[in-house]
Amino acid sequence: MAERGVKTISKPAEARREGSLEGLIGYHLRRASLVDIAGVMAAIAEANIRPVPFSVLAIIVEKSGVTAAEICRQLAIQRANIVPILADLESRGLFVREADPEDQRIQRLHATKAGRADYADWLAGIQAHEEHLLRRLTAAERAILRELLEKVWRED
């Protein structure tokens, strides 16, 4: 007999999951990802920014002086694909480029005051979405989920 308030999976339900679509972890990852990305898109829709450019700006804000090559490595973006993203963010006045004092060929990227302010606003919207998305998980469960997902994608 299960403890009160603790869900158990019956043997027939468990058997149906094995060898089926619902038995695949990737299926659940994809479903969760679709729900998440829809919420993120809604949270930043008014800003007319998409998740990848938001992530690029996030790195510029959080790692002042970062290079485009470093952003590409961290986000697994092709170098050719970051060029229009940076051009758009720069045209919005969200960051500036500065030559590296030791190597003039390298451009360091620094968020502007407007870039930091917009990033903070957009991040707050995404955090509100994430809070709603994960509302049924405890703080401990969220920490475990974050750790397990990182183990899946990190190549270390």
pLDDT in tens, 64-73: 999 999 999 9
Query: Tell me, what's the pLDDT at 19?
Result: 83
| 49-147: CATH, from 1.10.10.10, 3.50.50.60, 3.40.640.10, 3.40.50.620 | 1.10.10.10
| Residues contacting residue 71 through CB under 8 Å, at least 6 positions apart | 56, 59, 60, 77, 82, 109
Q: Residue 6: its pLDDT value, please?
A: 47
- Rounded CA gap, 99 and 84, in Å? 20
Q: Which residues contact 106 (CB under 8 A, 6 or more apart)?
A: 67, 99, 100
What residues does each domain of the chain span?
49-147
Dist. CA 132–CA 141, nearest whole Å: 15
pLDDT recorded at residue 155: 81
**Full DSSP string of 65-88:** TB-HHHHHHHHT--HHHHHHHHHH
123 three-state secondary structure: helix
For residue 143, give both structure tokens: 């920490």
**Residue among 20, 51, 47 nearest 34 (CA):** 51
Model-level pTM? 0.83
pLDDT tens digit sequence for 127-156: 999 999 999 999 999 999 999 999 998 886
